[in-house]
Amino acid sequence: MTQTTLELPRPAAGASAARSGAVLGMGLCMLSATAFGLAALFAKECFAAGFSVSAMLAGRFGLAALVFWVIVAIRRPALPGPRVLLTCLALGGLGYAVQAACYFSALTRIDASLTAQILYVYPAVVLVLGVALRRERASRRKLAALGCSVSGLALLLGSAGSHGPVAPAGVLLAFCSAVTYALYILVANDLPADIDVYLLSALVCSSAAVSVTLFGAGSGSLRVPAAPSGWLWLLPLALVSSVVSIGCFLAGLRLVGPSTAAILSCLEPLVTAASAIVVFGERLTAWQAVGAAVVLAAVVLLRPARVRRPEVVAPAELA
């Protein structure tokens, strides 16, 4: 009598790979948010050393571009076509440069916590635009995570606002920064999947450096520190808050999509608050601690669902 062996179904390799990619993408976005969260501290030291906004950004993007081009020279990826190349350059020169200039200029006019709170309306802008353009579906989990992010950030940042009058120009600059960043995310998500992320980062940083340098030279706002020690703060701003943050974000964006990447980026103010506690001895209020927990709840909601093992079919049900 011949013995028949029944092979049990195995989990789909594609589903497992998709979940692993989602986990990796979330980790990259969270690492990017951490690096971005330290930018405010580095920028504050740059301003104290004597940098103007345009000079600081020119140095930041220029150094970051240099590092990315070295990586590109080692990897030697294929160059994109003319249309994609122009899109990458526009992302840097018209997108990222404008967003950064608006954000850091707002910091010089209104309170930093208010600036950060206004900036973080961009996940809602990304989700609304994505749904309006029929690029994404507003699932319950994404809407719940978005609600956690918005409410948590309001609790985290709301009690740290300035008690003085608010400059309308600063509020407008911060809002423009949020809208510009949302558009940047959506456009970057439409780039071909085969374009090298380091080449993309090099193009974005290079065009951003040229853009802010031309603006600073034209407006006469390029001011740099007199003391050589003041230039040292550009290194962490460029390497940590540009090379690491941009590279990880663009890589994670491809794996999780724009709205998820935007919501995960809401970890950035948590990092800023934590670093301020360590460096400056600041303390979180009870409401800010609750807000931090609510923002972290958004990360839990966005965690990829576990891939279910296919059920074993009973022999009697086999036809």
- Which of the listed ranges 157-171, 207-221, 243-257, 266-280 does the model predict with the highest average pLDDT? 207-221
Sequence ranges of the domains in the chain: 22-304
Average pLDDT, the chain: 79
Angle between helices 197-219 and 82-90 (to 10 degrees): 50
Amino acid in position 149: S
Q: What single DSSP character describes residue 188?
A: H
Confidence class of residue 231 from pLDDT cuts 50, 70 and 90? confident
DSSP letter for each residue of 154-205: HHHHHTT--SSPPPHHHHHHHHHHHHHHHHHHHHHHTS-TTS-HHHHHHHHH
Q: 2-59: per-residue pLDDT in tens?
A: 444 444 444 455 667 667 778 888 899 999 999 988 888 888 888 888 999 999 999 9
- Residue 197 burial by CB count (10 A; 0-12/13-18/19+): exposed, middle or buried? buried
Does the pLDDT at position 109 exceed 90?
no
pLDDT at residue 302, rounded to an integer: 62
Q: 210-220: per-residue pLDDT in tens?
A: 999 999 999 98
Q: pLDDT above 90 covers what percent of the chain?
A: 27
Q: 55-86: per-residue pLDDT in tens?
A: 999 999 999 999 999 999 999 998 888 999 99
Q: 141-150: per-residue pLDDT in tens?
A: 778 877 887 8
Does the pLDDT at position 164 exceed 80?
no
pLDDT at residue 63, rounded to an integer: 95
pLDDT at residue 146, rounded to an integer: 79
pLDDT at residue 12, rounded to an integer: 52
Cα dihedral 71/61/245/269 (nearest 10):
170
Interval 302-316 mean pLDDT: 40
pLDDT at residue 304, rounded to an integer: 55
Does the pLDDT at position 311 exceed 70?
no
Nearest to 261 by CA among 153, 116, 142: 142
